[in-house]
Amino acid sequence: MKKNIAVIRGDGIGPQIINEAIKVLKKIAEVFNHEFEYSFACVGGEAIDKFGEPLPQSELKKCLEADSVLLGAVGGNKWNDVPPDKRPEKALLKLRQAMGVYSNNRPAKIWRQLSDSSPLKKEIVDKGIDFIIVRELTGGIYFGEHSTKEQNGQRIATDILTYSEKEIERIGRIAFETAQKRGGKLCSVEKSNVLDSSRLWKKVMHELSKEYCDVELSDMLVDNCAMQIVKDPSQFDVIVTENMFGDILSDEASMITGSIGMIPSSSLGSTKRGLYEPIHGSAPDIAGQNKANPIGTILSAAMMLKYSFNMEKEAEAIEKAVEAVLDENYRTADIFIKENEELKLVSCSEMGSLIANRI
């Protein structure tokens, strides 16, 4: 099969982790007889330096014309003082919006080999961690009006949070369908004791639940959910929540599985064309040191094969290769435990090669 993949290397550790994902995809193409063409798009801080804006039209076009988009990470301290509308992160938001990828899927699953890396107590980890956060990605406070003004000698900043029932319904459907394919349990997370947008969220989820009788729907307030994720993560199967709550809870959920560096994500809308990215950021503190963990990006590439290209076997081959390398005790710095003499510390590029070699 021939596929065109738009690749955004991005900033910080972005180029390194993307190199490793491409190494793995090249191996997949070879072994399974596919042809992957890459068109590299310059987006984020790199684009600000080169074009004066984070998402130039020409680069967005490459993404919209591709079969799917694979992204490393964007942002860094260097661009902290650029105007809000020109920040590297803005490129990511505009890209998500332009691609129409409203549904962000973030798995939190403990790898048995990494259970010692979880900051949670062993007895909690042993009960199992395997859930998915379905995060609404193109609405809410991220996309409301933002403004800062001066009034009576003081600065006042405003960010508006809006959700329409259509936006809630479409993400709700994805979440119910995800739960149907998994354990049949869906937890809708909101702040309905305070926010109108959350009260509407909760109502729409309950209206929808009448169409999905095989899914058990529950509600949880977001503050309680943050607590439950560390107290007893085994209770969750699928969580559905709005954009900002999903951003926060997915970082928390990733940490309890050992390292944020391990977690991939897929973002999809109404077509097969998706945006695939690890959930971590550009980690400028370790950029250029060949230390980053490329597994989150490599697993994102696997998700792309599975969800956008219907290449189940190929995706599984990547997951198995990651499993094998972890079984053989290879670890990047974020998942390395010094006191464990069996573990072997490897660089970002070594980890990529080890995985590619096992496909």
Residues with catalytic annotation? 142, 191, 223, 247, 251
Our CB check for ligand IPM shows the closer of 175 and 326 to be 175
Tokens of 287: 């950029």
DSSP code at position 238:
E
What is the C-alpha to C-alpha distance for residues 176 and 208, in angstroms, rounded to an integer? 9
Per CB under 6 A, 55 contacts ligand IPM? no
Q: Quick one: what does residue 89 bind among ligand IPM, Mg ion, none, with the CB cut-off 5 to 8 Å set by partner type? A: ligand IPM
Question: Can residue 348 be called a binding residue for ligand IPM (CB under 6 A)?
Answer: no
How far apart are CB 116 and ligand IPM at their closest, in Å? 26
Residue type, 358: R
Can residue 247 be called a binding residue for Mg ion (CB under 5 A)?
A: yes
Q: Which is nearer to ligand IPM, 14 or 352 (CB)?
A: 14
Q: Answer whether 235's CB lies under 8 Å from 216's CB.
A: no
Q: For residues 72 and 258, which CB has a smaller minimum distance to ligand IPM in the complex?
A: 72
Single-letter amino acid, residue 145 = E
Which backbone phi and psi does 182 adopt, to 5 degrees? -115, -125
User: Quick check: 11 and 44 in contact, CB under 8 A?
Assistant: yes
Compute φ and ψ for 25, nearest 5 degrees: -65, -35
- 152: part of which helix (H) or strand (E)? none
92 binds, among ligand IPM, Mg ion, none (CB under 5 to 8 A by kind): ligand IPM
334 touching Mg ion, by CB under 5 A: no
Residues in Cβ contact with 160 at an 8 Å cutoff, skipping those fewer than 6 apart: 141, 144, 145, 146
Q: Given the complex with ligand IPM, which of 246 and 294 has the nearer CB atom? A: 246
> Of these partners, Mg ion, ligand IPM, none, which one is at the site of residue 262 (CB under 5 to 8 Å by kind)?
none
At position 87, the amino acid (one-letter code) is: R
Judged by beta carbon distances under 5 to 8 A according to partner kind, the member of Mg ion, ligand IPM, none in contact with residue 54 is none
Instruction: Read off the tokens for 102.
Output: 């409203």
Residue 136 is a binding residue for Mg ion (CB under 5 A): no
Q: Does 242 bind Mg ion (CB under 5 A)?
A: no
Residues 238 and 132: beta-carbon distance below 8 Å: yes
**Contact between 247 and ligand IPM per CB under 6 A:** yes
Q: Can you give the binding site for Mg ion, defined by CB under 5 A?
A: 247
- Site for ligand IPM, rule CB under 6 A: 75, 89, 92, 247, 279, 281
